[in-house]
Chains A and B, each alone.
Chain A
Amino acid sequence: DAKTTQPNSMESNEEEPVHLPCNHSTISGTDYIHWYRQLPSQGPEYVIHGLTSNVNNRMASLAIAEDRKSSTLILHRATLRDAAVYYCNLLPGQNFVFGPGTRLSVLP
């Protein structure tokens, strides 16, 4: 099964951009790259997903490497509310199994 690796933790200052990396070197051609985040005491929530092209939505941007072996979730201006654990998943390849994710801390 394809696997993703992410840094355990990252830190950002409020109102600065944040780039959260994810490596997925064994991704298959049919796998979509999904990002979810989990705020404290809540269930995970969908952030963004993509296949090959970069994607933007109201929450974030997703930059996908040309070879698709890595991707980066971009929060353009971090707020305190963005402090959460961010998960990168491959679907259907990972069968919706979650790794430990990246814990993002946002400093005021």
Chain B
Amino acid sequence: DVKVTQSSRYLVKRTGEKVFLECVQDMDHENMFWYRQDPGLGLRLIYFSYDVKMKEKGDIPEGYSVSREKKERFSLILESASTNQTSMYLCASRRNEAFFGQGTRLTVV
């Protein structure tokens, strides 16, 4: 019954590495979203996409990019990971109601 799958539950990367966080949904949704969640700061929208090859910046896009080559897959890219990108990352997709993945806890050391 899994609907939104994030590639890793936990990830540890080194400063300066290029990091890919993958999100796949099996519901044929057009809309997909990436958030990060930090204690005391809540869920913050990084990027979203309304269609294949389309992307829109959210509230905190700096230091991130995204890729949507296929409808079911939305990738978040950290071009050069930094310690302040240590966070929980959540992916979501929706047509009407939204479905979220279980999250990827990324630690950058």
Residues in B whose Cβ lies below 8 Å from that of A101: 42
Q: How large is the interface on B (under 10, 10 to 19, 20 to 34, 35 or more residues)?
A: 20 to 34
CB distance from A5 to the nearest CB of B (A): 14
CA distance A91 to B103 in the complex (A): 22
Question: Is B1 close to A, CB under 8 A?
Answer: no
Pick from B97, B99, B101, B102 the residue with the most CB of A within 10 Å.
B97
Question: Is B74 close to A, CB under 8 A?
Answer: no
- B97's nearest neighbour on chain A, judged by CB, is A46
CA distance A30 to B100 in the complex (A): 24
CA distance A23 to B90 in the complex (A): 26
10 tightest CB-CB pairs across the interface, nearest first? A43-B100, A98-B43, A46-B97, A44-B100, A100-B42, A43-B90, A43-B103, A97-B45, A43-B102, A43-B101
